[in-house]
Amino acid sequence: MVLDEIAEEAHATGEPGLFFIDVTNRTNPTPHIGEIEATNPCGEQPLLPYESCNLGSINLERHLNRIDDRYEIDWEALEGTIRTSVHFLDNVIDMNRYPIQQIEEITKANRKIGLGVMGFARMLFKLGVPYNSLDGLRVAQQVMAFVRRVGYEQSGHLAELRGVYPNWRGSLHEKRGQRVRNAYVTTIAPTGTISMIADTSGGCEPEFSSDLVQERHGRRATPVHPRLLHRSRQAGGLLE
């Protein structure tokens, strides 16, 4: 079957992507402006023609409290980071320099942002929660529900201070009575490059290996996973 082949190839190579355009348009916040026809290149954010992609990702691994030899999520710090990030991304829309007028016009009219996460798998390592488990799914649900709730609260706060996005009237948000500054608030990006800069795991993905081969200045480096190294030392220095 076609779906079987798509699934097998996506698992093997990451391609092809699969985009359900009818489902996406049922949740399109501004159907009165136009239909969504595609996503940005990495597929994380459906966009109208000429819309730009304005993303930011929170490093979840950095939002943990260590208590003795265990960790717990620092919800207060995470809330502060979410609110700051939404404010920052909204500012980016106004401070950005756009290559053509059409991009600037639709971007400022819908003010879409995409706040997501990285370091989810590393966070689970420190919490002692297996990624492929019901507990792992429960943590994912809790964290993203929190990011979404606080993110939209902050967008609503910005709407009180700065006004709703210009295309708000006639939108799904208006029909729900939801005054927000941004037509989109959250998304989950792969964070392939920035997660390496931050030395954490990418997006919401698991860690697929205990080491990671990287190209650096023409040389191949294979650093050992830091949590594996830590656990090995606890077990008697197997990797010393």
Cα angle 88, 153, 166 (rounded to 5 degrees) comes to 70
DSSP per-residue string spanning 80-111: HHHHHHHHHHHHHHHH---SSHHHHHHHHHH-
Name 59's bridge partners: 118
Helix (H) or strand (E) holding 46: strand 46-47
Structure tokens at 176: 């729900």
Query: How far, in Å, CA of 89 to CA of 35, rounded?
Result: 24
Compute CA distances 237 → 163, 190, 226, whole Å: 58, 33, 13
Structure tokens at 7: 């699934």
Name 55's bridge partners: 114
- Give me the half-sphere count of Cα atoms (radius 13 Å) on the Cβ side of residue 206: 10
Structure tokens at 96: 């950005």
Structure tokens at 79: 């809330």
Structure tokens at 89: 């991304």
Catalytic residues: 40, 42, 44
